[in-house]
Amino acid sequence: MTELLQNLIDGIGRGSIYALLALGIAVVFGVMHLLNFAHGELITVSGYAAFWGLDAGWSWLVVVPLIVIVSVVTSLVIERVAFSRVRGADQFTLLLTSFGVHFVVSALFLLYVSASVRNFPRPEWGTNTYSVGSLNVEVFDTVVIAVTLVTLAGVTWLLQRTTFGLSLRAAAEDFDTARLMGVRSDSVIRGAFALSGLLAGIAAVFWLMRAGQTQPSDGIDPMLSGVLAALIGGLGSMRGAVIGGFALGLAEVLLRSRLPDSIANLTDGLVFALIAVLFIFRPQGIVSVPHAERV
């Protein structure tokens, strides 16, 4: 029982990061129908910002807001430079563009920075633990879960209580009709990319704190996790993206801890197999978006 609770906490901690990444992907997908495979590059760029900041002797207290700002700005720049030019294009073009951005960003770091891994110090408290009864809880997991919950509460408030949030939800449902209501397409798309960048930035802080290193190909894993979580949750649903993130994190941790050591390295494969089974029975993902109108 204790081990299961321990795994659940670990899974929720890991899933929190996936949830933030998936929510960022879902927000952009909602308004542009773009499955953004370049989302992970926000982690890559943030990773180098963290490395340079820490290398210059800055503390994590300074580097954390730097990472978030860099992620938001990078997201807006990518939208301006790449995606604004293919707005309204078919999904295949959007998909290719996002792959293009992904490869260009990692190639730029490869060419102009270095192919080698850059290490930086993890925060000192990152490995601290505390006990709750028989449970041994990492301070890091606690912080990740708490920050994620606060972030999700903030995003919920933004989406439910502000004109921007209302515009974003309307545009996610029917972009043309939202424009007919006066919602400015530029504002809502840039707002979506800024929000996506903010969520990726917060995820990047924890991703990088745990990794303690960065390299040009760093965007691939978070991108895959984020996209998978968004798909599991149900593409087009922001609530689904969050659920998908937690589900993926829990599945990874529970499988890794429960599988015999001899096949533990098959965890990722088994996670993919589980996802495939899910899509056979629920191709729309866990949450389906209702579009019911009775006549």
Partner 1 sequence: MLDVAGLTTAYGAITALRDVDVHVGSGEVVALVGPNGAGKTTLLATIAGLLAPSSGTVTFDGARVTGAPPERLLRAGLALVPEHRRSFANLSVEENLRIGGVTVPAAEREPLLDEMAERFPVLGEKWSNPAGYLSGGEAQQLAIARALMSRPKLLMMDEPTLGLAPVLVDAVFELIERLREDGRTMLVVEQAATRMLELADRGYVLRSGEVVASGTGAELLARDDLFETFVGPTG
The partner residues of 131 in beta bridges, in order of sequence, read 136
Contact region with partner 1 (CB under 8 A), list: 48-56, 69-77, 104-112, 159-167: 159-167
Contact region with partner 1 (CB under 8 A), list: 81-89, 121-129, 168-176, 269-277: 168-176
Nearest distance, CB of residue 174 and partner 1, angstroms:
6
Residue 142 interacts with partner 1 (CB under 8 A): yes or no: no
Residue whose entry in the numeric block shows the structure tokens 């912080």: 143
Residue 242 interacts with partner 1 (CB under 8 A): yes or no: no
- 202 vs 242 by CB, closer to partner 1: 242
Site for partner 1 in 75-104 (CB under 8 A): none
Residue whose entry in the numeric block shows the structure tokens 């309307």: 170
Residue 267 interacts with partner 1 (CB under 8 A): yes or no: no
Nearest distance, CB of residue 289 and partner 1, angstroms:
7
Residue 33 interacts with partner 1 (CB under 8 A): yes or no: no
Q: How far apart are CA 230 and CA 26, in angstroms?
A: 6
The partner residues of 213 in beta bridges, in order of sequence, read 119
Pairing relation of β-strands 118-119 and 129-132?
unpaired
How is residue 62 written in tokens? 């300074």
Q: Which amino acid is at 215?
A: Q
Answer yes or no: are the C-beta atoms of 232 and 49 closer than 8 Å: no
**Residue count, binding to partner 1 (CB under 8 A):** 24
Which 3 state secondary structure label does DSSP give 138? Answer: strand
Residue 158 interacts with partner 1 (CB under 8 A): yes or no: no
Nearest distance, CB of residue 50 and partner 1, angstroms:
37
Nearest distance, CB of residue 169 and partner 1, angstroms:
6
Residue 281 interacts with partner 1 (CB under 8 A): yes or no: no
Among 92, 133, 281, 291, the residue binding partner 1 under the rule CB under 8 A is 291
How is residue 163 written in tokens? 């004109």
- 70 vs 172 by CB, closer to partner 1: 172
| CA distances (Å), origin 210, targets 56, 122, 213, 217, 244 | 20, 7, 9, 17, 21
Contact region with partner 1 (CB under 8 A), list: 87-95, 113-121, 130-138, 167-175: 167-175
- 131 vs 163 by CB, closer to partner 1: 163
Site for partner 1 in 172-201 (CB under 8 A): 173-174, 176-185
Burial of 43 (0-12, 13-18, 19+ CB in 10 A): buried
Which residue stretches of the chain are H helix?
A: 2-32, 41-55, 60-81, 91-112, 139-161, 163-173, 175-180, 185-211, 220-233, 238-258, 267-281
Among 169, 212, 220, 278, the residue binding partner 1 under the rule CB under 8 A is 169
- Residues sharing a CB contact under 8 Å with residue 85, sequence separation 6 or more, in sequence order: none
Among 163, 260, 261, 262, the residue binding partner 1 under the rule CB under 8 A is 163
Residue 284 interacts with partner 1 (CB under 8 A): yes or no: no
**Residues at the contact surface with partner 1, assessed by CB under 8 A:** 163, 166-167, 169-170, 173-174, 176-185, 289-295
